[in-house]
Structure formats: structure tokens, C-alpha cells
Amino acid sequence: MTRRVFIASTLLAGTALTLLPQGEKTHIRVEPFKVIETVQKVLFPKGLKAPSASEFGATNYLATVTTHSSFWKDDLKFLIFGTELLMKEEPTFLSMNSEKQDKALRDFVNNSSKGENWVSLLLFYTLEALFSDPIYGGNKNELGWKWTQHHTGQPQPKKMWAEEIA
Amino acid sequence: MKYDVCIVGTGAGASGVAHTLTEAGLKVVMLERGGFLKEKDFSKDEVAYCKRDIVTPNLKESYHTIEALENGKWVKTPTYVTESSFFNGNIVGGSSNFMSGYFHRLKPVDFKLLSTYGTIKGANVVDWAIDYDEIEPYFEKVERLVGVSGEVTPYKYHEPRSTKEFPYPPLDEHPISKRIDQSCNKLGFVPYKTPRAILSKPKDDRANCYYSNYCGSYPCSSGAKGSARASLLQPALKTGDLTIITHAFVKKLVEKNAKVTEAIYIDTQTKKEHNIKANIFVVAGQAVESCRLLLNSKSKNFPNGLANNTGQVGKNLLFSAGGVGSGQFDAKTMPLKELMVEGLFVNRSLCDWYEIEKMKGGIVDFLFEHANPISKASKQRWEGSKLLWGEELQNKIFHKFTATKQLNFEVFNDWLPTDNCFVSVDEKYKDVYGVPVANIRIGAHPHDLKVAKLLAKKAEEVLKEMGAKNILSSMSSYPPANLQAGGCRFGNDSKTSVLNKHCQAHEVSNLFVSDGSFMPTGGSVTYTWTIYANSFRVGDYIVANWERYNK
């Protein structure tokens, strides 16, 4: 198991964890990712043809890319902050049915610009997960590309982050 | 060891010099801030190349401050706040690795803006120190060595050519190009076939274009794109006279008796400082960073920065004025089978308004919206000010990807040089190495926007005639970060310019600046062809005068 897969699976399994991007300590408690995973399911549910966020690995993607030094730390902080804000405003969000979650999320967006910015940012990273190369842990089985009949450019990356190929 | 020539940078402006000097047998060292990635390393990875600072410095490590007018005051904002980088490709070959390669030559009138059109209030327009004829042989050399594919389109403002045709035939075209031609013909416009710095046939070690559909913003995996690395540096390395030092951030040029003696650089991997000695130093780090280096190279003789005793370094910075526009096509306007063809190029421009009555105009390039799916999909999440998700968003994305195609246009016209567009350094803003970063004041002359809007109207007419829907255009005074020039302009008067006509510093005889910084006015086309051509010209001058420096 590589370090990043370990991190991703640990995050989702529910253990508190310390991530160390580039030697700088950023503490992520487990709950934020649980909230994020739940919200992503609402943002991108299983459609008639569209794959769901869980199917294409939206949260797994985020868990992978947030560990890299190129991930914007302000975005990471805001992603976590938004989960706290949502939990404050909608404490029962995680246990609601999907219809109620959708409604709660729409209220959350309409009630504050922070809420709207947070959902927009999380949606951005959800779409990044849907359409990025599967090497980053999202777009599982190229589900995003297949769904939209998109042909990616060749060659595809053999390594993440444009690293040199030995 | 002391090299003959040390070049700071490895992009288009650096590589023409390096190629020429090593061909003449001089020992050359190039200092590149980034790494050395080659065809085997490249891929079409949107996350790495388009969404993160991987091939540009991390903005927490280095950045710029952008100085814009807010409520009547000039306010500096670091780019790590706006998350909008003004770096453009820090790997061997520089930003030329990532260009789209829409190649247009300057026209003779671009060398004589002041004497042709006279002064414009608030703009520092001057004639160039050379005319078109002096650079034409080098434009031709670029066609051969860097590789330009195309077909000459006769029209009113076409520049004189010393050869009849391009050395490489045009690239394959998308079916929509014929429709642009038909519409242009109806409107009485000339559909100009856009030359591209992309090989349509193999050349030496470089394969021809394989129509990946992921061209601009990506490095080329076949070597077809005429990057400085693929076209000039890889052949130059074969001479054995070229050394490229990577991960080398040059912080200062040391001066003694009005000559540069050494370049001090930091190895960004080990963080250790090193120095390089040479007889001649050539700076080509792209306009903004070149100005920054000179401004930060202060000494007793040059308290305001190297070659800057007249205060001209950094002044009259140029971008490209203009903006973008678009129209939507679907099955109602064109059979879907034809419309959705991938990979082939549009390669059409409008150049009929290079001059508009008594005013300098510009050009319009047509191109499809980039295939990048992340960028395409993420724009769909907003419907006006409403955030979409769930089924509504899914339907919108599906339709966007499978049933429509967006034809864009880009307008290019002169960014007039003014006192409100320049590079400076400020001790308050330093990078991780303690070196002041470049501040870019981005004031634009209102004339630029006026011209851009006139050109946009012509492009909109073409889209309308083609039957496009939702035709939009947005001309803007905000500078495109990737189209930089000026800041060390050349001229015959040392009081109003930094460099002489050979791009040699007036005040420091063994210092040359060979990127786009030398340009006193920008012309109405993208800069790369001109930068390459001038780089060869500077290289020839150094070789011809080498004995003077070899002491």
C-alpha cells in the first residue's frame, strides 16, 4: 500500500490523522472528510447515465491531491472550515435522507456567501475528480470520460505531478 | 571554469542565441530555473499542467505583486493572494513548451509606429532602432529551424517575404475552417490561413504533429511543436559546447568596471549559492523576470540596478491588448459528425484590419475552446449567479460535451507603452530566497480597448454569418500574463532606452538582453516569432564581434 492510498483509506475509515505536506503540519480530523464525502454524494448523485461521486472516487481523489505540496493550502483550510460551518447550521445533515440533504445544502448556499463559496469549491474539486486522469485516484475506470464520450489526450501520465520518467 | 557566454533563461529569447553561438564553437552555459523535462516525460495531464503550479514556481516560493488602480490609488496585491501566476513555464525551453504556436510575423509598419501614425497622448510610442528588412532573414530562419507550417495568404497588409512559401505545408484542418472561409467570402473578408510553429512533416529528431487535441498549455510529446528545447537546444547540446544547469535561480549579476563578471544563482534543490563566470552575459528570463534581475543587481556603479542609471529598466512594459470571444455550434448549424471531429486545427485569422484608416489595428485568431474537460465542466456549475448541482448540472455537462462545440476568437492589438505599465522591485515583497520579487504595474491605455472592440466586432460578424449562437466577446484591459514584452527597450538614444540596436546594454558592454524585453512597441501579433528571430540576430552580432570580448 502506497502512502497516499494509506492516507486516503485511513481518512475514510474514520481514524484521526495528521497529514504532512512538505514538512508543514496540517491537521485534518476525520469528520471533515466524512462530511465532504456525504456532500459530494448530493452534488453528484447516480444519474441515468452519469456515474455517482462514490463510483468515480470523488473523495478518494481529494484525499490524494490534498497531500501534495501543490494543493492550495487556503483551499484545504476552507474545505475543512466549510464542513464545520455546515455541521453548525445543519447538525443532523449526515443522518438525513438524500432529499433532505439536498434541501439543507440549498438552504446552506442561500443563507450565506461563505456557504455558497464552499459548495462551489467542493463542486469544483468534485468535477476535477470526475475528469482528471485516473492516476490521481478519481475518474475511476475513466467513468467521467466514458459518460461524456470524451477522449483524453495521449499520452496519459505515467507519473503524477509531471515528474520525470526515469 | 570561465565560459565564453552565460545565458540566463532557456526559452525562445535565449535559445536562438545559444544555437548560433554553439554553432560557431563558443562555450555556452545556460541557467534554467526549472528542470529538464523531455518528450518522454510529457503527457496530457490537465491537473499537473493546467491546474497546479508544477512547471511554474509554487506561489508561496516566488510570486509577483500586481499593482492595479483601485479607487484612484495604485494598490499592490501579491499573486499568492489572487492565485493567478505570472510565471509561464519554468522548465528547459521555457514557456515556448506550452505555447499554441500561432505564428505571425510583425509587419513593416510595426517598426515605425511613431513616424507612421504620430504621437498618441499618454503613450510612449517610438520607432524601432531597426526596420523590418533587418529582421526578415531571421523570420525566415525561424521558419526553417523552429519549423513553421502554413500557406501564404495574399492580403493587403502582408509583410514582404524572402522565400515564396513556408518550408512545411499547412497542418490538417477541421471541417469548420471551410465554413469560416465561406462566411468570410460572403462578408468580403480575407480568411487568413494561420501559420503554426508545429511541424506537419518530421524534421531531424522531431516527429510531425499527431493531432492530440491537447496542444496549447501542454508540452508536446512528439517534438512537433517548435519549443526552444525541441527545436534549438537539443541540437545545440549535440555540439558538445552547451551546458545547461537546471534548478538554477539567478539572483544577481555582479558588475565591476561596467562589466558583468559573474552570475550568482541559487540551486533551488539544495538551496546553495553558486557563481558562473563568463566573458559575455545574456539575459533572457522573459520580460518581467529579466527586468527584475537587472533591478536587483545593484552595485556601486549602478545603485538603481544594472544598466539602469537612466532609470529605464522595467519601464514601458508591454502585454498584448485584446480579449476573447466565442460562439456556440450544434447540430442545427453543422452536422454533428463533422462538428465533433477532434484534434484538427482551425488555423484561420482575420488580418484585414492590421491598419484601420489612420490607426494601427490588429488581428483575430479563431480556435476551438480547449478540450480540457475539467476546465470545460467546472464552468458549467454556474448558471448566471446560480450554482447548479445534481441532475441539473449533469444534464448541462452532458449536453456541453456531446452536442455542442464552442468556437473562440482571440483579438491581438498593440498594448501601447505608457508610464503606468512597468516592472519595479520593492524590498517589502521578497521570495523565499530573500530576493525582492517583481512588481508589475498594469495600467493600460484606453486606446487599446477601443481598437480591440473594433476588431471583436469583425470576428462577431463572421460567427454570426456562420450561424453561431450565444455570440459573446469580452475585450479587457487586464494583461494576459503569458504575452510579455518590453521593459528593456532598445533604441539609439541611451537616455530613453536600455539597449542599443544590437540588444546590448548602453551602459554595460558585455551585457545583452535577448528576450522580448527589447521591444519598444509590441505589434499586433503574439511575440514568439519575433523573439526567436531577434534572438538569432543577437547571436549573429555576438559571433561577429566575438574577438572584442575574448580577453
Contact check, Cβ <8 Å, A50/B398: yes
A163 touches chain B (CB under 8 A): yes
Average pLDDT over residues A14-24: 38
Q: What is the mean pLDDT of chain B?
A: 97
A158 touches chain B (CB under 8 A): yes
Contact check, Cβ <8 Å, A162/B401: no
Name which of A102, A155, A161 is nearest B48 (Cβ-Cβ). Answer: A161
* DSSP-assigned letter for residue B210: -
Alpha-carbon distance of B226 to B215, in angstroms, equals 12
Continuous H helices in B263-372: 287-296, 336-339
SS3 content of chain A, % helix, strand, coil (to 5): 65, 5, 30
Confidence of residue B551 (pLDDT cuts 50, 70, 90): low
β-pairing, B485-487 vs B320-330, is: unpaired
Query: Computed from CA positions of residues B289, B294, B297, B303, in that sequence, does the dihedral angle turn out positive or negative?
Result: negative
Name which of A50, A70, A120 is nearest B381 (Cβ-Cβ). Answer: A120
Span B256-276, pLDDT tens digits: 999 999 999 999 999 999 999
Domain span including residue B257: 2-83+91-549
Question: Which among B288, B252, B285, B286 is positioned nearest to B439, based on CA atoms?
Answer: B288
pLDDT number for residue B300: 98
Q: What percent of chain B has pLDDT over 70?
A: 100
pLDDT at B423 over 90: yes
- Whether the predicted interface score ipTM is above 0.90: yes
Closest-CA residue of B relative to A163 is B41
Contacts of A104 in chain B (CB under 8 A): none
Residue, of A24 and B329, whose pLDDT is higher: B329
- Please give the grid coordinates belonging to residue A164: 520525470
Contact check, Cβ <8 Å, A162/B398: no
Our CA-based measurement puts residue B382 at a distance from the nearest CA of chain A, in whole angstroms, of 9
Domains held by chain B: number: 1
A123 touches chain B (CB under 8 A): yes
DSSP per-residue string spanning B230-256:
IIIIHHHHTTT-EEEE-SEEEEEEEEE
Contacts of A50 in chain B (CB under 8 A): 394, 398
Span A90-117, pLDDT tens digits: 999 999 999 999 999 999 999 999 999 9
Alpha-carbon distance of B312 to B495, in angstroms, equals 8
Our CA-based measurement puts residue A122 at a distance from the nearest CA of chain B, in whole angstroms, of 11
* CB neighbour list of residue A100: distance below 8 Å, 6 or more residues apart: none
Average pLDDT over residues B403-421: 98
Strand partners, B253: B263
Contacts A–B by Cβ distance under 8 A: 127
Average pLDDT over residues B116-128: 97
A24 touches chain B (CB under 8 A): no
Q: Residue B277's domain is classified under what CATH number? A: 3.50.50.60
3-state secondary structure B484-543: CEEECCECCCCCCCCECCCCEECCCCCEEECCHHHCCCCCCCCCHHHHHHHHHHHHHHHH
Q: Please say whether the beta carbons of A131 and B46 come within 8 A.
A: yes
Contacts of A116 in chain B (CB under 8 A): 387
Average pLDDT over residues A33-53: 97
pLDDT number for residue B456: 98
Question: Which among B521, B526, B525, B480 is positioned nearest to B497, based on CA atoms?
Answer: B521
Name which of B37, B378, B391 is nearest A124 (Cβ-Cβ). Answer: B378
**C-alpha distances out from residue B385 to A164, B389, B476, Å:** 41, 13, 21
pLDDT at B221 over 80: yes
Name which of B212, B382, B393 is nearest A153 (Cβ-Cβ). Answer: B212
pLDDT at A76 over 60: yes
Contacts of B341 in chain A (CB under 8 A): none
pLDDT number for residue B550: 75
Span B441-457, pLDDT tens digits: 999 999 999 999 999 99
Contact check, Cβ <8 Å, A119/B48: no
Alpha-carbon distance of B24 to B286, in angstroms, equals 25
- Please give the grid coordinates belonging to residue B510: 558585455
Span B309-359, pLDDT tens digits: 999 999 999 999 999 999 999 999 999 999 999 999 999 999 999 999 889
